[in-house]
Amino acid sequence: MTANEYFESIYSLDPRKIAERYKFLGEGISRKVYALNEDLVVKVAKGSEGIYQNSVEHYVFTHADNNFRKYLCPIIWFKPRLLIMKRAVSFKKITRSRFVDLRTIRPEPNSLNEINYYTSKFFLYYNDIRSAGSWGKLADENVLIDYGCTNAFGDYYYDFIFSFLRY
């Protein structure tokens, strides 16, 4: 079975079957996250908001240049209802802090400015970007694992963009 066939087989499952077969890692307001294995997670939309957040993450990841993509946990496969991403250890398991310090989250000297620039460019919700739950550790690098929440303008922007895209 190819990787795509494997991902399609997961996509064909009812969300209850996914919950039965895979280890539950956590959930947000609009998505549940399960471990497919030690290397991958699947984010399952609970409804239209989860579909929106999966779509935003996919859009950001596929439209980010390499300078920003280095901050993002890689997306491996996408359909609006399901998003498959590399598995990182959530900062929620590492720290008790509610927020991370964006000045020190990455070793790059200009990381704060870059993160702020791209957060603005992609209309991401700033408090979500600085939330400890939005970050994880992957191969000894701190990466954003949750970047699908947008600011008020982003809601309009992505609604407009997604009205033209067909997934």
Classify 3-162 by CATH class.
Answer: alpha beta
Along the 167 residues of the chain, how does pLDDT read in single tens digits?
Answer: 899 999 999 999 999 999 999 999 999 999 999 999 999 999 999 999 999 999 999 999 999 999 999 999 999 999 999 999 999 999 988 888 999 999 999 999 999 999 999 999 999 999 999 999 999 999 999 999 999 999 999 999 999 999 998 76
Residue in the block written with tokens 């802090």 = 97
User: For the chain, what are the domain ranges?
Assistant: 3-162
Element (H, E) at 26: strand 23-27
Phi-psi category of residue 85: left, alpha or beta, with phi > 0 → left and psi -120 to 50 → alpha: beta
Cβ atoms of 52 and 60 within 8 Å: the answer is: no
What pTM was computed for the model? 0.95
Residue in the block written with tokens 């471990």 = 35
If you ran DSSP here, which 8-state letter would residue 29 be given? Answer: S
